C-alpha cells in the first residue's frame, strides 16, 4: 500500500520529492508521486479570492490509484473553509484524503518552506489516521492558526499522539 502525493496547481517537483521522503520517515509507508490531474479551478470563490478546501478535497477524493492507502494533494493556492479566514490544509478524519496548501507557508528561505510543508502534511495525514488536535505545543497535531504557530511546533507526533496513531 502506498501514500500518494499529487501536485494541485504549480508545485515544484523538488518539494514533492522532499515531502515523499518526509512521509516515509514519519509514517513508514512507501510514497508515490502521481501526475494525475486534479481540476481545481471550479473550487475558486471569486468573492473571497480563495479556493474552497472542501470542494478541492472532493476532487482529490475522486482519485483512485493502484494500491492506494492515502492520497494527499499539495497545492499552491490559498484555501479557506466556511467560518475561517484561511486554512493551511484539511484532512478527512479516519479517511483516505488530505490537502495541504503552501500558499501561506511561503518564504524566501526554501529550507523553512519545506519544513513548514512537512509539518502541515504530517498534521493532515495524522487526521486521516484518526488523530484529533493536540494541546502539546510541540506536537505536529497542535492546531496552527498562523505561520508563527506552524514554526513553533515540531514535525513529529508527541508520545501520546504516537500511541494513538492508527497505522
Cα gap 48→69, rounded to integer Å: 33
Helix or strand holding residue 122 (H, E): helix 110-128
82 is catalytic: no
pLDDT in tens, 89-136: 999 999 999 999 999 999 999 999 999 999 999 999 999 999 999 999
DSSP state of 162: H
Please give the pLDDT value at position 77: 97
Average pLDDT over residues 18-43: 95
pLDDT in tens, 52-78: 999 999 999 999 899 999 999 999 999
pLDDT in tens, 144-161: 999 999 999 999 999 999
Catalytic residue among 30, 81, 110, 124: 124
pLDDT over 80 (residue 166): no
Asked if residues 138 and 158 have their Cβ atoms less than 8 Å apart, the reply is yes
Residue 9: Cβ-neighbour burial (10 angstroms; 0-12, 13-18, 19+): middle
Asked if residues 69 and 3 have their Cβ atoms less than 8 Å apart, the reply is yes
Residue 167's pLDDT band, with cuts at 50, 70 and 90, is: low
Higher pLDDT, 39 or 116: 116
Alpha-carbon dihedral 108, 18, 23, 137, rounded to 10 degrees: -20
Alpha-carbon dihedral 51, 54, 55, 56, rounded to 10 degrees: 70
Please give the pLDDT value at position 64: 87
DSSP state of 62: T
CATH code of the region 2-164: 3.40.390.10
Grid cell for residue 97: 484524503
Q: The whole model's pTM is what?
A: 0.95
Please give the pLDDT value at position 124: 98
Amino acid at each position: 500500500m502506498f501514500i500518494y502525493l499529487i501536485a494541485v496547481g504549480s508545485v515544484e517537483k523538488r518539494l514533492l520529492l522532499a515531502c515523499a521522503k518526509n512521509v516515509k520517515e514519519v509514517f513508514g509507508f512507501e510514497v508515490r508521486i502521481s501526475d494525475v490531474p486534479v481540476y481545481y479551478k471550479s473550487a475558486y470563490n471569486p468573492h473571497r479570492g480563495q479556493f474552497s478546501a472542501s470542494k478541492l478535497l472532493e476532487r482529490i477524493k475522486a482519485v483512485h490509484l493502484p494500491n492506494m492507502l492515502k492520497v494527499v494533494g499539495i497545492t499552491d493556492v490559498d484555501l479557506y473553509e466556511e467560518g475561517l479566514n484561511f486554512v493551511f490544509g484539511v484532512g478527512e478524519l479516519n479517511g483516505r484524503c488530505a490537502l495541504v496548501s503552501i500558499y501561506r507557508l511561503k518564504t524566501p528561505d526554501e529550507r523553512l518552506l519545506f519544513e513548514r510543508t512537512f509539518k502541515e502534511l504530517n498534521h493532515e495525514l495524522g487526521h486521516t489516521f484518526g488523530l484529533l488536535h493536540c494541546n502539546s505545543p510541540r506536537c505536529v497535531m497542535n492546531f496552527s492558526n498562523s505561520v508563527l504557530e506552524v514554526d513553533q511546533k515540531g514535525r513529529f507526533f508527541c508520545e501520546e499522539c504516537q500511541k494513538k496513531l492508527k497505522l
